[in-house]
Amino acid sequence: MSKFSLFLIFLIAAAIAGGGVFLSQWDIPAPTTHVEKVISNDRFKN
């Protein structure tokens, strides 16, 4: 392989590893909105 191909493979592997580390360390906040849904009683009759 040429040096450019090896550099490209290394760059792609580093990007994937960096993305994995970023996603594993990212503290995504939980949603804080209140959701209220009205369900009709007809759905629960057998």
Residue spans of the domains in the chain: they are 3-44
d(CA 11, CA 26): 22
> Would you say residue 25 has pLDDT above 90?
yes
Q: What is the mean pLDDT of residues 26-45?
A: 87
The model's pTM is 0.57
Q: What are 8-22's pLDDT values in tens digits?
A: 999 999 999 999 999
Nearest to 16 by CA among 26, 28, 5, 24: 24
In this prediction, residue 31 has a pLDDT band, given cuts at 50, 70 and 90, of confident
Query: What pLDDT sits at residue 39?
Result: 86
